[in-house]
């Protein structure tokens, strides 16, 4: 979880100010957590409690109403009886990483990723984006190589992950659809040699920086067996205590599945 959250916070200041290099300060005074963090924590809380993703997205979203939600999700959050709204946006993928840590089989991970997405993002691409991200986390956690993760996600989801990061950067811009941002975030992880490199790569695409770094960071945490301590400490210092408590409870609940 901290891997995804760190990516969100580090990428926050680059979301509207595209960055196409990897050499930049990881944290600035104005770096902040956004909806990616709030809803990732909500996913974890759902996994530890009643399993009701929709209810917990609503609870946490209303606790943090100014976290930067998209227009569709804001309307969903305000509704008395919220319904899925056919979204293919990358919001389904940004919040899903805890599912990759919490289950013991690929089929469970794919099924739960779909359930978590479908309460809002019930478009096939919205579901696929969540499944691709959760599957990558699950495989990374289990010791798969980057080549094996690339092959498995390509086969399951049909994403083109054979492009290089340099190729992706050419002409790439801000994009919120799963189909045009999740594969690119995964490529950022696939070209990384360590956790920090995955996050830096994702932000350097010049796209939806916080969300793509959140996705890449979640997979990188699983693959590289944790988040560097200085980054983890900085992230914790920037989160409210209630969100930190959920993070700690999640790590306590699934210690054998953690890096």
Domain count, the chain: 1
DSSP 8-state assignment for residue 177? B
Tokens of 23: 């050499």
Beta bridge partners of 107: none
Instruction: Report the share of the chain in percent with pLDDT over 70.
Output: 98
Short-list 71, 59, 7, 70, CA closest to 35: 70
pLDDT tens per residue across span 88-144:
999 999 999 999 999 999 999 999 999 999 999 999 999 999 999 999 999 999 999
Containing structural domain, residue 139: 2-23+30-257
CATH classification at residue 126? 1.10.4080.10
88 φ, ψ to 5°?
-110, 15
Residues 86/122, Cβ–Cβ less than 8 Å: yes
Average of per-residue pLDDT values in the chain: 96
Q: How far apart are CA 86 and CA 89, in angstroms?
A: 9
Per-residue pLDDT band at 254 (split at 50, 70, 90) = confident
The more confident residue out of 24 and 16 is 24
Structure tokens at 5: 């959250």
Q: What is the largest CA-CA distance in the chain?
A: 46
């Amino acid at each position: 979880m901290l891997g995804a959250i760190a990516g969100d916070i580090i990428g926050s200041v680059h979301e509207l100010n595209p960055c196409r290099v990897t050499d930049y300060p990881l944290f600035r005074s104005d770096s902040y957590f956004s909806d990616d963090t709030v809803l990732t924590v909500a996913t974890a809380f759902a996994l530890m409690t009643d399993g009701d993703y929709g209810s917990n997205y609503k609870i946490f979203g209303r606790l943090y109403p100014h976290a930067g939600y998209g227009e569709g999700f804001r309307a969903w959050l305000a509704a008395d009886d919220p319904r899925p709204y056919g979204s293919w946006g990358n919001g389904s993928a940004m919040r899903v990483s805890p599912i990759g840590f919490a289950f013991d089989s690929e089929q469970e991970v794919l099924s739960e990723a779909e359930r978590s997405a479908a309460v809002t993002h019930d478009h096939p691409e919205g579901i696929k984006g969540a499944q691709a991200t959760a599957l990558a986390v699950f495989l990374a956690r289990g010791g798969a190589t980057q080549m094996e993760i690339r092959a498995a996600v390509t086969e399951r989801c049909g994403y083109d992950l054979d492009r290089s990061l340099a190729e992706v950067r050419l002409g790439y811009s801000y994009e919120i659809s799963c189909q045009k941002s999740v594969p690119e975030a995964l490529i950022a992880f696939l070209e990384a040699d360590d956790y920090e490199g995955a996050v830096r790569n994702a932000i350097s695409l010049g796209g939806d920086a916080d969300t793509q770094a959140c996705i890449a960071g979640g997979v990188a945490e699983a693959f590289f067996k944790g988040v560097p301590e200085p980054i983890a400490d900085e992230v914790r210092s920037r989160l409210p205590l209630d969100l930190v408590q959920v993070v700690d409870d999640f790590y306590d609940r699934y210690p054998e599945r953690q890096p």
